[in-house]
Amino acid sequence: MSSPTVLAEAARRRTFAVISHPDAGKSTLTEALALHARVISEAGATHGKAGRRATVSDWMEMEKERGISISSTALQFEHRGHVVNLVDTPGHADFSEDTYRVLSAVDFAVMLLDGAKGLEPQTLKLFDVCHRSGIPVITVVNKWDRPGLDPLELLDQIQQRIDIRPTPLTWPIGIAGDFRGVLDRRLGHAVEYERTSGGATIAGETVHSPDDASTVFGDAWEEAVGGHELLAADGADHDPEEFLAGRTTPVLFAAAALNFGVTQLLDVMLELAPAPRPRLDAQGEPRAVDSPFSAFVFKIQAGMNTAHRDHVAFARICSGVFERGEVVQHTQGGRPFATKYAQNLFGRDRETTDLAYPGDVIGLVNASQLGIGDTLYLGPKVEYPPIPQFAPEHFATISARDTSRFKQFRRGIEQLDREGVVQVLRSTLRGDQSPVLAAVGPMQFEVVTDRLQREFNAETRLDFLPYTLARRIQPADRETLAGINGVETFERSDGTALAVFSDRWRLQFVSRQHPDITFESLSADV
Ligand code: G4P
C-alpha cells in the first residue's frame, strides 16, 4: 500500500468518543449521529434504561433493546467523504477505568453537558483527564429544548471550573426550553430547526441570512446576535491552534432527542477536529502515520457474549494499513500474532475487516495473549507507552472456595489481570492463595467473580479490605512500612510498589512518621 493512500485515508478519518455524566444524552446523541450518517434508518424515539446491565456495553444493550445495528465498540460511518469512528465509552458512573482507556485511543472527544445541569461530577473528571492528556474537546450543550441555565452562565462554569476557554461556534436562538435554531458564528447565518415527530427522523433545517432571520425569529434573533457580539468582544472565537492544544473548547448547542444541532456537530468534526496524528512511542519518538502498520490494544472484551467467539482485543491503528490475515508482531509477547480473525464488529453480524487505516479500531478475536496497552506492528519495531493505570479505591482479597480448583483460579486471575479487568496486588503476607484485587469501581469485583465462575469454573470468595487510598512507593520502602497499623504494602503485577491506606488521615499520619518516604499519587489520579 503506497504511502499517499495511507496518508489520504488517515486524513479523512475522525476518531472520537462521546463522554458525559450519565443521563446527559450520550446514547441519544450516538443514535442521532448514526441517523444523520444514515447508518440506521430511524432512531428509536424512546430510551428505556430498564434492564441495562452495566457490565455490558451500552451499545450492545441498545442493539438488544431496539434491534438496531450499532456495533459494540466502534461505530464507523462515512459522512461527506470522511470516515467517522465513534468509539463507545461505558455510560455509568461506577466503572470508569474503561472510559479513560478509550480516551487514549481517540483523537478528540465530544463532551456532552445537560443544559439544565451544567457541569456534573463525572463531567469535571472527564474534562480533567482530557485536559491533562491534551485531548481536544468539543463541548455540546444538550437538551436545549428544555428549560435550563443561561448560556453565558454555562460558559462561565466551564471557564471557571475547568480552566478551559469556551469558544462557541453556534449560539442558540431562543432561551433553553424554546429552542428555535442557532446562529452559526462561523458561517454568519441562522439555522432554523423544525421538529419531526418524536425526533425519529432528521430534523428539518432551513438556513436564513441575517436579514431574513430577523423577520423569522424577531426578538430571539436580536438576542442571539447580542450574545454573539458579546462573545466576539470578549475574544471567545475559535482558534485552531488553541483548540488542538486542548486550551479552548468549541461549544455547540443541541437537542439530541430532536436531532437539533447534530448536522452542525458533524460539520465541525469534519472541518475542525484533528485527523490521526503521529503517535509518540515509549521513547517519546513520533511514528509517522504512513510508517508500516502499528496499533495498540486499549480494550479487551471477554465473557460477555456467549453467541460469539468470545475474547476480543480492540486495537486502535496508529500507522500504516492493516490487512486481514497478516501476521504481525506483538511487542510485549515477543512473538508473531496472526490476525486471521480480525473483525470490525460493525453491525449485528460482525463484519470482517479486510483493510483498515490509522484511526480505525479493529477487533481481534481469540486474542487471549494480548493485554491492555500492548503494541502490534510490522516493519521497524515499536512499543507504545502503557495506558496509565488508575488509582484504585476499592480493595478485597479473593480466594478459591474449592482448593482443588486452585490452578484454574490462578489461571483466571492471571487472565483477568492481563485484560485489565482489575488490578492484582501481591504480598508475601497475603500469599499466593489469596491475592488482593484493587478496583476503581466496585463493579469490577462482580465482573471478576462472575467470570472466574463461568469461564474458569472456579467459585471464589471475596473479603473486602478497609482501604480506600493507594500511593506509589519505592520497593525498598515496603520493609520500612511493614507492620504499621492502617497501612499495607503490595507489589502490583506491573512491578509498581504500592502502599494502601484506610483513609487520608492515616496517610498523613504515616507520612509524618516517615518523612524520608515519598508517597506518590498514581499518575492517573483524578
Ligand atoms: P446517557 O446515555 O448519557 O445516559 O443518556 P440517554 O441518551 O439515555 O438520555 C438520558 C435521558 O435524557 C433520556 O430520557 C433521553 O430521552 C433524554 N434526552 C436526551 N437528549 C435529550 C434532549 O435533547 N432533549 C430532551 N428533552 N431529553 C433528552 P429518559 O427519561 O431516561 O428516557 P425516555 O423517557 O426518553 O425513554
Any alpha helices (H) in 24-182, and if so which ranges?
A: 26-36, 58-66, 97-103, 121-133, 151-162
What is the structure's pLDDT at 352?
A: 55
pLDDT value for 57: 41
Q: What is the pLDDT of residue 329?
A: 96
What are phi and psi for residue 379, nearest 5 degrees? 75, -145
- From the number of C-beta atoms within 10 Å of its C-beta (0-12, 13-18, 19+), residue 375 rates as buried
Task: Tell the residue nearest (CA) to atom 4 of ligand 1.
Answer: 23
What is the number of structural domains in the chain?
Answer: 3
DSSP string, 493-510: TTS-EEEEESSHHHHHHH
Q: Helix, strand, or coil here: 49?
A: coil
**pLDDT exceeds 80 at position 242:** yes
**Residue 21 Cα: closest atom of ligand 1:** 3
| Pair type for strands 469-473 and 394-400 | unpaired
The answer to whether the CB of 198 is under 6 A from ligand 1 is: no
C-beta 27 within 6 A of ligand 1 = yes
453: Cβ–Cβ under 8 A, 6 or more apart, which residues?
Answer: 459, 460
The answer to whether residue 382 sits within a structural domain is no
Domain boundary among 277, 295, 323: 277
Q: Which of 259, 277, 295 is the last residue of a domain?
A: 277
Which CATH number fits the domain that encloses residue 449?
3.30.70.3280
Same domain assignment for residues 120 and 196: yes
Q: What angle do CA 337, 342, 344 make, to 5 degrees?
A: 145
pLDDT at 129: 85
Amino acid at residue number 226 = G
Strands 327-330 and 335-338: antiparallel
The protein residue with its alpha carbon nearest to ligand 1, atom 36, reads 47
pLDDT mean over 406-426: 91
My answer on whether 146 and 174 are in the same domain is yes
Number of Cβ within a 10 Å radius of residue 241: 8
**333 shares a domain with 303:** yes
Q: Is residue 526 part of a domain?
A: no
CA–CA distance, 321 with 90 (Å, rounded to integer): 28
The model's pLDDT over 434-475, given as tens digits with 9 standing for 90+, comes to 999 999 878 788 888 988 998 899 999 999 999 999 999 999
- Residues 351, 273: one domain? no
**Alpha carbon of 238 to ligand 1 centroid (Å):** 29
Q: Cα of 63 to ligand 1 centre, how many Å?
A: 17
pLDDT digits (tens, 9 = 90+) for 424-441: 999 998 988 999 999 987
Greater confidence (62 vs 385) lies with: 385
- Dihedral (C-alpha) 417, 422, 427, 431: value to the nearest 10 degrees? -70
Is 149's pLDDT higher than 50?
Answer: yes
Which of 483, 524, 488, 493 has its CA nearest to residue 507? 488
Task: Indicate whether 145 pLDDT > 50.
Answer: yes
Cell 452559526: give the residue.
184
> 428 and 350, same structural domain?
no
Cell 507489589, residue located: 491
Q: With a cut of 80, say whether residue 310 has pLDDT above it.
A: no
Q: What is the CATH number of the domain that holds 264?
A: 3.40.50.300
Task: Indicate if 54 and 168 belong to the same structural domain.
Answer: yes
Residue 98 — φ and ψ, nearest 5°? -60, -40
User: How much distance in Å is there from the Cα of 47 to the middle of ligand 1?
Assistant: 7
Closest residue by CA, ligand 1 atom 11: 23
Give me the pLDDT at residue 526, please: 40
Which ligand 1 atom sits nearest the alpha carbon of residue 260? 23
**Whether residue 345 has its Cβ less than 6 Å from ligand 1:** no
Range of the domain at 301: 280-377
Decide: 23 in ligand 1 pocket, CB within 6 A. yes
Residue 3 confidence (pLDDT) above 50: yes
Domain boundary (347, 377, 407) is at 377
What are residue 227's phi and psi, to 5 degrees?
-60, -45
Terminal-residue alpha carbon distance, the chain: 42
Whose C-alpha lies nearest to ligand 1, atom 25?
Answer: 143
Query: Is the CB–ligand 1 distance for residue 21 below 6 Å?
Result: no
Task: Judge whether residue 489 has pLDDT over 90.
Answer: yes
Query: Which of 18, 19, 20, 28 for mutating ligand 1's site (highest number of atoms within 8 Å of CB)?
Result: 28
Axis-axis angle for helices 219-233, 210-217 (nearest 10): 130
DSSP, residue by residue, 166-208: EEESEEEES-TT---EEEETTTTEEEEEE--GGG-SPPEEEEE
Q: Which residues are annotated as a binding site for GTP?
A: 88-92
For the Cβ of 46 lying below 6 angstroms from any atom of ligand 1, the answer is: yes
Rounded Cα gap, residues 186 and 412, in angstroms: 54
pLDDT of residue 49: 36
Residue 247 pLDDT grade (very low, low, confident, very high; cuts 50, 70, 90): very high
**Whether residue 335 sits in one domain with residue 418:** no
ipTM of this predicted structure: 0.97
Question: What's the CATH number where 340 sits?
Answer: 2.40.30.10
The residue type at 251: V
Does the CB atom of residue 89 touch ligand 1 within 6 A?
no
Q: What is the pLDDT of residues 181-205, one digit of tens each?
A: 999 999 999 999 998 766 566 778 9
